[in-house]
Amino acid sequence: MKQLIPFLKLFKHQWLMMFIGLFLSITTLMAGIGLLSLSGWFLSATAVAGLSVATAQAFNYFTPAGGVRFLSIARTASRYGERLATHEATFKLLTQLRSWAWRKLMPLSASDLKGVRGGDLLNRLVADIDTLDHLYLRLVTPMAASLLMIAALYLFLGWFDSSLAVTLCSLLLLFWLLLPLAFYLLGEEPGRQQLESKRQYRVLLLEYLQGQAELTLFGAVKRYRAELDQAQAALFASQSAMAKVTALSQATLVLCHGVAVVVLFYLAAHGVGDNIPPGPMLALVVFMTLACIEMLMPLAGAFQHLSACVLAAERVNEVVDKQPSIRFVEQSTLAITQGDLRISQVQFGYHAGQKVLDGIDLTVKAGSKVALLGQTGCGKSSLLSLLTREWQAQSGEITIDGHELDRYSETALRSGMTVVSQRIYLFAGTLRDNLILAQLAPEFTELMTRAERNAARAANDIVLIEVLNRVGLGSLVQGDKPLDTWIGEGGRQLSGGEQRRIGVARALLRDAPLLLLDEPTEGLDQRTEREILAILFEFAKDKTLLMISHRLTAMSQMDRIHLMENGQIRQSGSHQTLLQQDSYYASLYQRLTEA
């Protein structure tokens, strides 16, 4: 249970809404039990009063009738309010949980998350945290409300008959203790299986959808589809097992409740307090016991979800409890101003005993343009990940502007370099949303008027439109509100070339001295590639540029070119020098030129 402690601590931030939800839940139960009890007593008392003319005329029909109407309205209103309050508290808790988990994940580097599949990580952030909403909605609130109602019933019924109050509340307390425990044990394994099978199905489904092109190319669609069908069958089986436990819990609860009704009916039939025979008070006690089913119903199912909550908490904690292996200094006055880059004797491997980079030396002088070429797997992108501190070299030294890389704060490092990677990440949103990620947002102060804020936003929109026109996306900024164009999930409404140009536009919005390009034109035709590189080179004319590629477009514009092979730099020189001295480079350039 200790896995739930970090999540329970977050409840304090929503204590007011949670208390309101609990209060309204208790009010609903009190109104429901009171309504049925009063109705039973009123009907019985009315029947008894109608036995003679004198009693019929003396009986007060209006007060109980008004009470019935009041309680029915109160029950409806409080139930509605309880749903609003508890669900509002739940949604706020889920938002807070995701924000908390994301803040824990942000400092983690790629090395900290190695071995965690993307689909599994997504499942932990979505499905597992969704499962944790049962803590408040189906565990804390129903259990607390029912326990408090048992105490309230004892006080109310004890006013008429203390022995009946002890009997009823003892039975209810016994159910309150035993039923959740029994069905927690019965539902523990099915709950874990359901959560695990759901996780496995999500992971396989995500990989199946994302890898359609590769799976089709290598003829593996049927095999992956068979695995997906097996995972789906396992999920259905776990859901069926959990449904059987739920059905058994409801049946057991109805049986226990029936026993309580029979016992109270038998005892109350001998008299209720001073009322012997009990008369209408018998109906009040029996109907009160009947109404207790409303507060007992959530109990049987509540602890079925506890095992799933514990497992979900364990899985989320596995990620958020990780300590970042790469730490940035919290406060530093250093800033990247020149972009002078030096790499000396760097050794790096993703696993022990493996060398991806083997004693590599590289110098990129401030303002120079350098290309790093090599076949896939030679270590080019790994070197870039060391510069951005996604990974940490096992040995060697990397400096920028004469200072070691680990002396820069994360803010200084990120603001000092612009990275254009081979994959452009676009989010479900507007053009504006996807562009302002790359720039510092316009500064707003509390002293600014609404007109001044709108003017600042409008001025920033002009900058965004100019950048889009500059990268050849003028067709996207037509109409009255061009930046409000929705680009869809992953930018699916844009072509591959347009997505690349969005990535270039982001780079142009960042005035950083060091520009890192990692296969920025991968998958593009030669014409589009030349256009994008021309824009980038124009932008970087006063900046330090390091481009990683396995293609030779624009190599003549580079100050120096390094050829990588097996984690080392095999040959270096200018474009003309390499054409004369390196036969492989010359033959590759010849083939690309002819193509």
* pLDDT for 472: 84
Distance CA 299, CA 301 (A): 6
**DSSP code, position 361:** E
* pLDDT for 489: 77
* pLDDT for 215: 85
* pLDDT for 351: 79
DSSP H or E stretch at residue 364? strand 357-364
Q: How many CB atoms lie within 10 A of CB 471?
A: 22
Q: Look at the pTM and tell me if it is higher than 0.75.
A: no
Distance CA 372, CA 368 (A): 13
What residue spans in the chain does CATH classification 3.40.50.300 cover?
341-426+494-594
In the three-class reduction of DSSP (H, G, I as helix; E, B as strand; rest coil), residue 440 is classed as coil
* pLDDT for 209: 84
* pLDDT for 78: 93
Nearest to 536 by CA among 528, 124, 55: 528
* pLDDT for 443: 53
* pLDDT for 246: 84
What residue spans in the chain does CATH classification 1.20.1560.10 cover?
2-320
Full DSSP string of 390-408: SS--SEEEEEETTEEGGGS
In the three-class reduction of DSSP (H, G, I as helix; E, B as strand; rest coil), residue 347 is classed as strand
* pLDDT for 398: 92
Domain 2-320 -> CATH class = mainly alpha
Q: How many CB atoms lie within 10 A of CB 563?
A: 20
CATH for 341-426+494-594 (3.40.1010.10, 1.20.1260.10, 3.40.50.300, 2.160.10.10): 3.40.50.300
In the three-class reduction of DSSP (H, G, I as helix; E, B as strand; rest coil), residue 381 is classed as helix
* pLDDT for 594: 53
Full DSSP string of 74-130: HHHHHHHHHHHHHHHHHHHHHHHHHHHHHHHHTT--TTTTTT--HHHHHHIIIIIHH
pLDDT < 50 stretches in the chain: 441-442, 444
What's the helix, strand, coil split of the chain in %, to 5? 65, 10, 25
